[in-house]
Chain A
């Protein structure tokens, strides 16, 4: 459902992503795990057609993100890192706007609206002004706008960041409910989030895929945390080596 092939993205002199390749199968929930600045948001923006990659290619629902971004956009729901909300609108008004933006059939809209309000626990907040909602509820509205048109692919960028523990559990439960029917790629810098929600983890580190791991393959002896630290320390020693070798060349 999602295929990234040798994606590279540079911002001026900075290389945010280099040679990133991975796949996500239909119906899978995959966690994109990495520290801040690892390149998670950049990858997701490329997959949603928001940014063009500097080189490489990606396909979402069978469409190329560089050649056919319009078709990609028709098949995705996306929750950016900051939920894209208009604070002066009501929850219902906003979701109706999203339904039109996503070009859903007019006849389906009332049903989709009720479904999303119900699913995201927003039924009793439908007439609230978004700007007056708590952060947890705003995140639910953000999630609702990503799923309301029932897209085959759902992309969520750090969906639980900044929430309190109760809200985190609620949002994770919501996401888990979307498995099966939808393909979900979510990013996080929280290790436990991946084990709690995802079937597979892709670890990104400094713009590269450092490791892929199926959650059920994790043994009791080796937690995801250990795998993560191992992968990252390997990279640090590699950096050290390259630095010393550069120094020796300079001498």
Chain B
């Protein structure tokens, strides 16, 4: 377990001297920011229209239908989910591929540590960096809570869903990175696996019956959107934890097969 932390510490230090990582961080913050401003503007227009309507029709209820949570925050969170599909693979692609290409995995695999130590260490480093990505959203939250008074619980639930989904993309990316020493290949493999997990939801829409229900429940979008609507369910949590454990175990098997071959 301590060795996992040894691996994680080293990886975090290396991440923070890597220019690529700052580019990913910057792009994520920039695109999130642009989308936030556009959403804010749109929300403002809707709000003004509603105010005019409320005055004209003497109907103060119209204002109550404009929810900051539904119209703004969940929008921002949903867009971040979409961004993570691309940004997380850009971080994870180097995690194990680089160890292979520069030969350092030979040091790791001949040291008295286990494959789990390596997998968990890399995973922890990924989670730390990913949390940093999410922290860039703090600015938007400050603005939103200062500007209006959204309900805090659905916001919290939305970000919990975003965190769970992002960590799922991380586990997938780590697995992809264990397959190859080529970072570009690792990037595309994790992107396609992530897309696959998202697209089974589309397949569900064209089918019916139990298969449709099953596919819907298996799609990451469905699970994330439940959280983003404020619905934290046990089945949702179980879903995400299963995805993490599945891909982390697959990574471990993939690492072990290197030495067993």
Chain B residues in 8 Å Cβ range of A85: 102, 104
Q: Tell whether, in the assembled complex, residue B104 and residue A84 are in contact, meaning their CB atoms are under 8 Å apart.
A: yes
With the chains together, A98 CA to B10 CA distance in Å?
A: 10
CB of A51 within 8 A of CB of B103, answer no
- B206 vs chain A, min Cβ distance (A): 43
Query: Is A51 within 8 A of B107, CB to CB?
Result: no
Please measure, in the bound complex, the distance between the C-alpha atom of A142 and the C-alpha atom of B172, giving whole angstroms.
32
- Whether B10 contacts A86 by the Cβ 8 Å rule is yes
Q: In the complex, A81→B3 CA distance in Å?
A: 25
**A49-B259, A50-B259 known; A84 vs B14 contact (CB < 8 Å):** no
CB < 8 Å neighbour of B6 from A78, A82, A100:
A100
Q: Which residues of A contact B261 (CB under 8 A)?
A: 51-52
Q: Within B13-30, which residues are at the interface with A (CB < 8 Å)?
A: 13-14, 17-18
Quick one: which of B93-138 are within 8 Å of A by CB?
Answer: 102-114
Q: 1/0 per position for A83-95, CB-CB distance to B under 8 A?
A: 1111111000100
Whether B110 contacts A50 by the Cβ 8 Å rule is: yes
Interface size band for B: 20 to 34
How far, in whole Å, are A114 and B223 apart by their CA atoms in the complex? 53
**Selected contact of B13 from candidates A49, A83, A93, CB within 8 Å:** A93
Output the nearest chain A residue to B2 by Cβ-Cβ distance. A100
Interface string of A77-119 (1 = CB under 8 A from B): 0101111111111000100011011110000000000000000
Known: A52-B260, A101-B107. A88 touches B112 (CB 8 A): no
Inter-subunit contact B112/A70 (CB<8 Å): yes
The total of Cβ contacts below 8 Å across the A-B interface reads 71
Chain B nearest Cβ from A164, distance in angstroms: 22
Q: Is A43 an interface residue (CB 8 A)?
A: no
- In the complex the two chains form, what is the Cα distance from A50 to B260 in whole Å? 8
The residue of chain B having its C-beta at the shortest distance from the C-beta of A12 within the complex is B261
Q: How far is the CA of A101 from the CA of B6 in the complex (A)?
A: 7
List of A residues within 8 angstroms of B260 by Cβ: 52
Min C-beta distance of A41 to chain B, whole Å = 10
CB-contact partner of A52 in B10, B113, B259, under 8 A: B259
A156 at the interface (CB under 8 A from B): no
Please report the C-alpha to C-alpha distance between residue A48 and residue B112 in the assembled complex, in whole angstroms.
11
Which of these, B17, B106, B259, contacts A84 with CB under 8 Å? Answer: B106
Please tell me if the beta carbons of A73 and B107 are within 8 angstroms of each other in the complex.
Answer: no
- Of A74, A87, A101, A103, the residue contacting B108 (CB under 8 A) is A101
Shortest Cβ distance from residue A230 to the other chain B in the assembled complex, whole angstroms: 34
Beta-carbon contact of B3 and A103 below 8 Å? yes
Docked complex Cα distance between A98 and B111 (Å): 9
Question: A161: shortest Cβ distance to chain B, in Å?
Answer: 14
**Which residues, 28 to 87 on A, are CB-close (under 8 Å) to B?**
48-52, 70, 73-74, 76, 78, 80-87
15 additional A-B pairs beyond A89-B13, A100-B3, beta carbons within 8 Å, are A48-B110, A51-B259, A52-B260, A74-B112, A80-B107, A80-B110, A84-B104, A86-B14, A97-B10, A100-B2, A101-B3, A101-B6, A101-B107, A102-B112, A103-B113
User: Which 10 A/B pairs are nearest by Cβ-Cβ distance?
Assistant: A84-B107, A82-B103, A100-B6, A84-B104, A80-B106, A74-B112, A48-B110, A101-B111, A73-B112, A78-B110
Sampled A-B contacts (23; CB under 8 Å)? A48-B110, A49-B109, A50-B106, A51-B261, A73-B110, A73-B112, A74-B112, A78-B106, A81-B103, A82-B102, A84-B102, A84-B103, A84-B104, A85-B104, A86-B10, A87-B102, A88-B17, A89-B13, A89-B14, A100-B6, A101-B3, A101-B107, A103-B112
